[in-house]
Amino acid sequence: MQVSFTSAEVAVLVQSKASRGATTETIRGLASLARAEPGDLSFLGNAKYKAEVAATAASIVLLPSDYTGEPRANQLFLFVDNPSVALARLCARVEQSLWPKPAPGIHPTAHVAPGAQVAASATVGPLCVIETGAVIGDRVHLQSQVFVGRGARIGDESWLMPGVVLAAECAVGRRVRLQPGVIIGSDGFGYEFVQGRHEKVPQVGTVEIGDDVEIGANSTVDRARFSRTVVGEGTKIDNLVQVAHNVTIGRHCLLCAQVGISGSTTIGDYVVLGGQAGVSGHLTIGKGAKIGGQAGVTQDLDPGAFVNGNPAIPLQLERRLVVLTQRLPELFKRVDALEGRPA
Amino acid sequence: MQVSFTSAEVAVLVQSKASRGATTETIRGLASLARAEPGDLSFLGNAKYKAEVAATAASIVLLPSDYTGEPRANQLFLFVDNPSVALARLCARVEQSLWPKPAPGIHPTAHVAPGAQVAASATVGPLCVIETGAVIGDRVHLQSQVFVGRGARIGDESWLMPGVVLAAECAVGRRVRLQPGVIIGSDGFGYEFVQGRHEKVPQVGTVEIGDDVEIGANSTVDRARFSRTVVGEGTKIDNLVQVAHNVTIGRHCLLCAQVGISGSTTIGDYVVLGGQAGVSGHLTIGKGAKIGGQAGVTQDLDPGAFVNGNPAIPLQLERRLVVLTQRLPELFKRVDALEGRPA
Amino acid sequence: MQVSFTSAEVAVLVQSKASRGATTETIRGLASLARAEPGDLSFLGNAKYKAEVAATAASIVLLPSDYTGEPRANQLFLFVDNPSVALARLCARVEQSLWPKPAPGIHPTAHVAPGAQVAASATVGPLCVIETGAVIGDRVHLQSQVFVGRGARIGDESWLMPGVVLAAECAVGRRVRLQPGVIIGSDGFGYEFVQGRHEKVPQVGTVEIGDDVEIGANSTVDRARFSRTVVGEGTKIDNLVQVAHNVTIGRHCLLCAQVGISGSTTIGDYVVLGGQAGVSGHLTIGKGAKIGGQAGVTQDLDPGAFVNGNPAIPLQLERRLVVLTQRLPELFKRVDALEGRPA
C-alpha cells in the first residue's frame, strides 16, 4: 500500500459510530488479524476469527458494535455496522490511489481500424486492436493488448484488462470489468453428426454482457448459435468459468471459479454457484437457488432451492446421505449379525 | 444477423422436401421457438420443444417430416430430414456474410522473423508474431495477436483466433479452428523428486493437431515429454479443456468444456467426454466410449463403454446405486425394525 | 529432436553404472518403449511397462540396476539409479540445443514505459509491454506479447512465455517459469451484498511467487484483498489451475491441472493435489497431505493426511465406502430376505 491514513481519516472513511482506545500510529497497511503489525489496520469480518482480536498487533481494528473486548495500549477499536463493508470503503479509497484513472487517448502502438468509433474520453492502451465498426464508450479503459472485434460495443466506464478478447458483434454494458484473459464471443460448441463426422453448426449469434458485470481471469463466454448469450446486470463471475452458447444468466448472480454452465440453460436472478459446480444444458434454475461446490445439476431447480452433490439433490438430504454412507460398514455388520454370520 | 432471405431462398438453402402455409415476411433473424418474432426463422431441433411450435411467432419454422400441426396465418412450415442440419446449412450461409474471407497479406504491425515461410494467400493480422522456421500454409488466417513459435507449422485454411499461442515445433493440420486464447505446446507437467525438490523433466516433444480439429477458447494442449501429443482428425474440443503431455486422442471425438485428460492416456476414435469429466493417466479408453459429465475415469474402458460417476462405473449400475443410496434412510429404518429397535 | 548422440555420449550424460550389449546406431530421438524405432533411446520409468522392454526396437534402453533381461542384437542396455532422472538429464541437454538462450535486448516492437528498469542481460521479446516502475532482473526472458504491470518485479533468470500477464505490484522470484497465458494478479473475487447488489471489495493486495516455481498454461493467481497471495518456493502448478485471493501455498507442492483453491486457505509444504480437486476457503492443509483427483476438501487436513472423494475423507475409508456402495443391491436383497419378502 502506497498511501497512509491518520486514525481520524480512517474513522471518517469507515463511517465509525463509536470507538475505544487510541493510537498514535499512521496506518500504512491492511492485514488480517493474525498477520497485522503496528501501522496496519485490521478487521473482524468473520466471527470465526473473533478469538484473534485480543492478540492482534494491528493499530486499528474495525469491529461490529457488539464486540465487548478492550484494546491494547496504542490500539484503536472502531465500531461500525459491518466491518467488511467498512473495509471495502477504505479499500476503494486505496484503489483510487493505486490505480489512478488513466489519461484519455489512443496509444501510438495500438491499431484502430478505420470505421471504429472511440470516445475522446476513452483510453486505448499499448498494442490493442480495435476492428472496424466497433464502438467504444466514454471513459472506457482498454488496458493493454486487448482485442475488440468488428462491430463490438463497450459501454461507458468499462475496463478491459490485458489480453481480453471481445469478439465481433458482442456487446458489453457500462461499468463492466473484464479481468485479464477473458474471452467473450468464442464460438459455441455445436456440431451435427453426419456420415461419421462432426459437422460444424456455425455460431452466428452474439453475447450481451449487462451493466456492472465483472468476469474473472481466463473465463470464457461463448456466442450464441443464433440470438444471444446473456449475462445479466450486476452478476459477478470468477476465474476460469465456462458459459456456453445460448445460456441466459440473470441479474446479481455469483458464479465461483471453474463453474461450467452448459448450452441453452437459463439461470434466474440471485443464483449462487459454488466453485467447480456444473449445470447441464437446457435447464431452468429458479431465482435465488444455491448450488454447492462441485455439485452436478441435472434437473431444473425451483426458486430458492439449495442443492449439493452429483447428481445434485436438496442439501439436507445430501448431508444425511453422506452421513449414512459413512455408516455403511456398521450397517453391513448389523445385517451380518441379523443373518447369524460371525462378526 | 445482417443478411436477409426470402422464403424461396430459405427453401432452397435448407433443401426442403415439403411445405405447409406461406409467409410474406423476409427472414432477417434466427431465434428459438419461444423467442422468435415475425421476420425470424426457427426450428424444432429437440423433441422436448415440440409443444412450442404451435405458439411460435416465427415466420418460417423448419420441422421434421412427421410433424403434424398446422401453421398460423402468414407462417411457413418447411419440412426437412433433420432440422438441425438444415439450420446449420443456413447458418453457414450467414457466416459467410458475417465473417467474409480476409484479404491476404501481412499486417504492417505484425512481426514475422526472417526465415519464416508465409504463403502468399495467408492473412497475418495485426500484432501477430511468427518466429523463424515457422511454415504458414495457404489461406491460413492468423487473426490478431497470435503467436507462432519457431519451426511451428500450420496447414492450409486453418484459422487461429486472437491471442492463440502455437509454441515451437508444434504442428496444426488443415482447416483447423483454434478459438481465442488456445495454447498449443505448453510444457507437460513432469518432475522427478530429488533430494526434497521437484526437478523439472524437460519437455522436448511436440504437439500434432489433425485436420478439421476445432479447439475451444482458453483450452491447453501440452507438448510431449518426448515424441508427440496427438489430437486426431475431426475431433472437437470445447473451452477450458486440458490435454496433458503424451496423450493421444483419436479421430472424431467430442471433449466438452473443462474436461481434463492426464498424461500418456490414449483415447480411441469417436469417444465422447461430458463436461468437467476427468481421465487418469496411462489409461486406454476404447473406441466409441461415452463418459458422463463430472465422471472420474480411473481404469481402462472397453470400446463402447458408457460410464458415469467417480470412480466411473457403467451407467446402468451408477444410476441404480444413486437410487439405492437415496433409499439409505429407509434401509437403516428397516434394519432398526429387524433388530427390534423403536422407529 | 534436432540433436544426436553417440552411445558413449549417452552413457556419460546419464551417469550409467553398468551396461549390457552394444549399438552402432546414433541416437536421434526419444520414444516410449512401445513406439521406439532404431535410432531412438527409451527407458523403463514405470514398472507397469516392464514387459515392453523385451520387445522394444529402441537402440538404447535406460534401465534400473535390477533389470535382468538381455538386449537384442545391436541394442544397448544402460543401467542407472533412476531411469526417469537419467532421462531428464538427457532431456535437459536436448533442451539446451532446442531452446538456446535468447540474445539480450529489447525488441523494437516492445513497449517499455519510462521508469521501468530492465537489466541489460534480459531479453524482452516482440510486442511485450512493460509499465512504469517495473523491475526486470538479470537474464529474464519475456518471450512475446507479455504484459508486466506497473511496479511488478521479476527475479533473475525467470522465463515468461507468450501472452503472460503479470499485473501491477506483483512479484515473481528467480528461475520461475510461467507458461503461456498465465495470469498473475487478477482481482480476487470479493463482494459485499448491500441493498440487493454485490458491491465490489477492492482488491489492493499483491501476489508473491517464490523462486523455482513453475505455473502451467492459462492458470490464474488472484491478488490478495490486502496483504499477499503467496506461492512458495519450488512449487509446481499445472494448467488451468485457480488460486484465489489470500491463499498461501507452501514450498515444493504439486497442483495438478484444473485444481481450484478457494480464498484465504493455507496449504503446507509438500502437499500434492490431484487433477480437478477443489479446496474450500479458510482451511488449513497440513504439510505433506495428499488430495486425490476430483476430491472436494471441506475441512482442515492434518499433516500427512491422504484423502479422496467429495466430501474428502481418508483414502482407506473412501475406498471401503466405494466398495460397500457398489454392494448396495446385494444388501437391499439381504434385508428383503430377512423381512421374508420374495426375491
Which long-range contacts (C-beta less than 8 Å, at least 24 apart) are formed by A312-320? A313/B326, A315/A290, A317/B326, A318/A292, A320/B329
A215 and A234 both lie in a single domain: yes
User: Exposure string (b/e) for C302-326, b if CB count within 10 Å is 16 or more?
Assistant: eeebbbbbbbbbebeebeebbebbe
Model confidence at B195, pLDDT cuts 50, 70, 90, reads confident
Residue B66 pLDDT more than 60?
yes
Q: Indicate which residue of A111, A141, A198, A245 is catalytic.
A: A245
Which of C111, C178, C308 to mutate against chain A (most A CBs within 10 Å)? C111
The H-or-E segment that residue B185 falls in is: strand B183-186
Q: Is the peptide bond before A303 cis (omega within 30 degrees of 0)?
A: no
**Residue A62 phi, psi dihedral angles, 5° rounding:** -90, 125
Q: Do C220 and A212 touch (CB under 8 A)?
A: no
Cα A8 to chain centroid distance, Å, stands at 33
Query: Which of B183, B195, B197 is most worth mutating to test chain C (most C CB atoms within 10 A of its CB)?
Result: B183
In this structure, what C-alpha cell is assigned to residue C105? 535486448
* Domain contains C342: no
- Which pLDDT belongs to residue A201? 84
B325: nearest CB among C92, C218, C328: C328
Please provide the DSSP assignment of B71-98 as one string: --TT-EEEEES-HHHHHHHHHHHHHHHH
What ipTM does the predicted assembly reach?
A: 0.89
Residues 6 or more apart whose CB falls under 8 angstroms from that of A230 comprise A207, A208, A210, A247, A248, A249
State how far residue B88 is from chain A, nearest Cα, in angstroms: 5
**Residues in chain B, how many?**
343
Domain that holds residue A62: 7-98
CA distance B324 to chain C (A): 7
Collect all residues of chain C within an 8 Å Cβ-Cβ radius of residue B317.
326
For chain A, the distance separating the N- and C-terminal CA atoms, rounded to the nearest angstrom, is 65
The answer as to whether B280 is a domain residue is yes
pTM of the model: 0.91
User: Residue A321: its chain C contacts at CB < 8 A?
Assistant: none
Q: Residue C2 domain-assigned? A: no
Chain C's closest residue to B338, CA to CA, is C339
Query: How far apart, in whole angstroms, are the C-alpha atoms of residue A289 and residue A310?
Result: 16
Same domain, C37 and C126: no
Ranges of chain A with pLDDT below 50: 1
Distance, CA of B191 to CA of B245 (rounded, Å): 12
B169/B179 Cα distance (integer angstroms): 20
* C122 & C50 share domain: no
Q: C14 in a domain, yes or no? A: yes
What is the per-residue pLDDT for A78?
Answer: 96
Condensed to tens digits (0 to 9), the pLDDT of residues B250-274 reads: 999 999 999 999 999 999 999 999 9
* B44, C6, C337 from C340: Cα distances, Å: 52, 77, 5
Select the residue of C198, C227, C317 nearest A234 (Cβ to Cβ): C198
What single-letter DSSP state applies at residue B223? P
Which residues fall within 8 angstroms of residue B263, CB to CB, at 6 or more apart? Answer: B188, B189, B190, B244, B245, B246, B247, B281, B282
What is the CATH classification number for the domain harbouring B165?
2.160.10.10
Q: Are A155 and A301 within one domain? A: yes
The number of distinct structural domains making up chain B is: 2
pLDDT in tens, C121-173: 999 999 999 999 999 999 999 999 999 999 999 999 999 999 999 999 999 99
Classify residue C72: in a domain, yes or no.
Answer: yes
| pLDDT at residue number C341 | 83
Shared domain for C94 and C173, answered yes or no, is no
- Cell 538381455 belongs to C70
pLDDT at residue number C29: 83
Considering B107, B111, B245, B282, which one is annotated as catalytic? B245
**Identity of the residue in A82, A180, A332 whose CB atom sits nearest the CB atom of C186:** A180
Single residue among C98, C130, C145 that ends a domain in this structure:
C98
Q: What is the pLDDT of residue B343?
A: 64
Asked if residues A289 and A307 have their Cβ atoms less than 8 Å apart, the reply is: yes
Confidence grade of residue C26 (pLDDT, cut at 50, 70, 90)? very high
Choose, from C107, C141, C245, C252, the residue flagged as catalytic: C245
Q: Residue A325 is placed in which grid cell?
A: 454412507
Both A93 and A113 in one domain: the answer is no
Query: B78-131 pLDDT, tens per residue?
Result: 999 999 889 888 888 888 877 888 999 999 999 999 999 999 999 999 999 999
CATH number of the domain residue B35 falls in: 3.40.1390.10
The whole-number pLDDT of residue B192 equals 82
Out of A252, A309, A335, the one facing C196 most closely (by C-beta) is A252
Tell me if C227 and A276 make a contact (CB, 8 A cut-off): no
Rg (CA), chain A: 26
The distance of B164 to chain C (nearest Cα, Å) reads 9
Contact B202, C95 (CB under 8 A): yes
Residue B94 sits in the same domain as residue B111: no
In terms of C-beta density within 10 A (0-12 exposed, 13-18 middle, 19 or more buried), how is residue C223 classed? buried
Contacts of C226 in chain A (CB under 8 A): 1, 29-31, 91
Residue C330 in domain? no
Contact pairs from chain A to chain C, CB under 8 Å: 185
Q: Do B334 and C331 touch (CB under 8 A)?
A: no
Query: Which residues of chain A neighbour C317 with C-beta distances below 8 Å?
Result: 326
Say yes or no for a CB contact (<8 Å) between B260 and C275: yes
Closest partner residue to A335 among C225, C278, C334, by Cβ?
Answer: C334
In-domain check, residue A271: yes
B228 Cα to chain C: minimum distance (Å): 9
In chain C, what residues touch B149 (CB-CB under 8 Å)?
162
Question: C72 phi and psi, to 5 degrees?
Answer: -80, 180
Give the chain A residue nearest B108 (alpha carbons).
Answer: A111
Which has the closest alpha carbon to A194: B25, C17, B174, B15?
A: B15
Shortest CA distance to C162 belongs to which of C140, C147, C150?
Answer: C147
Question: Which residues are B255's β-sheet partners?
Answer: B237, B273
Instruction: Report the neighbours of A using a cutoff of 3 or more CB pairs below 8 angstroms.
Output: B, C
> Of the candidates B129, B183, B310, which has its C-beta nearest C126's C-beta?
B129
Could you tell me if C221 and C131 lie in one domain? yes
Q: What is the pLDDT of residue A183?
A: 98
Mutate to test the interface with B, among A127, A242, A323, A326 (most CBs of B within 10 A): A242
Q: Encode A96-132: b = buried (16+ Cβ within 10 Å), e = exposed.
A: eebbeebebebbebbbbeeebebeeebbbbbbbbbbe
Average pLDDT over residues C180-198: 92
> Which residue in B144, B146, B235 has the most chain A C-beta atoms within 10 A of its own C-beta, making it the best mutation to test that interface?
B144
Burial class of residue A154 (count of CB atoms within 10 Å of its CB; 0-12, 13-18, 19+):
buried
Chain B neighbours, 3+ Cβ pairs < 8 A: A, C
Distance from CA of C180 to the nearest CA of B (A): 7
The CA distance from A208 to the nearest CA of chain B, in Å, is 15
Please report residues of C whose CB lies closer than 8 A to that of B218: 181, 218, 240
Predicted confidence at residue C28, as pLDDT, reads: 84
Q: Which is nearest to C152 in space by CA: C188, C176, C127, C180?
A: C176
Asked if residue B156 and residue B86 are part of one domain, the reply reads: no
Strands B141-142 and C135-136: unpaired
Q: Which residue of A has its CA nearest to B98?
A: A204
CB distance B192–C328 less than 8 Å?
A: no
With CB atoms and an 8 Å threshold, state whether C30 touches B187: no
Of the candidates C244, C321, C331, the beta carbon closest to that of A257 is on C244
Distance from CA of A101 to the nearest CA of B (A): 26
Distance from CA of A258 to the nearest CA of C (A): 7
Rg of chain C's alpha carbons, rounded to an integer? Answer: 26
A128: Cα within 13 Å, side-chain hemisphere: 29
A chain contacts of residue C299, beta-carbon cutoff 8 Å: none
Is A334 contained in some domain? no
Q: How far is CA A133 from CA A118, A148, B94, B107, C106, in A?
A: 10, 10, 18, 19, 34
Residue of B nearest to C176 (CA): B200
Q: Are A217 and A180 in contact (CB under 8 A)?
A: yes
Q: Do B275 and A262 touch (CB under 8 A)?
A: yes
pLDDT score at B197? 92
Phi, psi of B64, deg, nearest 5: -70, 155
A198 is catalytic: no
Binary contact (A239, C246; C-beta < 8 A): no
How many contacts (CB atoms, under 8 Å) link B and C? 186
pLDDT at C1 (0 to 100):
46
> B168 and B210 share a domain?
yes
Do C112 and C80 lie in one domain? The reply is: no
C-alpha cell recorded at residue A39: 501501522
Q: Look at B186 and C216 and tell me if their CB atoms are within 8 Å.
A: yes
Among the partner residues A145, A242, A324, nearest to B145 by beta-carbon distance: A145
Residue A327, all three cell numbers: 455408516
Q: Are C236 and C199 in contact (CB under 8 A)?
A: no
> Position of cell 459429465?
B293
Tell me the chain C residues in contact with residue A236 when contact means C-beta distances shorter than 8 Å.
Answer: 189, 191, 198
Q: What is residue A4's predicted lDDT score, i.e. its pLDDT?
A: 85
Q: Which of C48, C99, C328 sits opposite B321 (nearest CB)?
A: C328
Calculate ∠ Cα A38-A44-A46, nearest 5°: 145
Minimal C-alpha gap between A186 and chain B (Å) = 6
What's the pLDDT tens digit per position in C205-236? 999 999 999 999 999 999 998 889 999 999 99
Query: Are residues C118 and C47 part of one domain?
Result: no
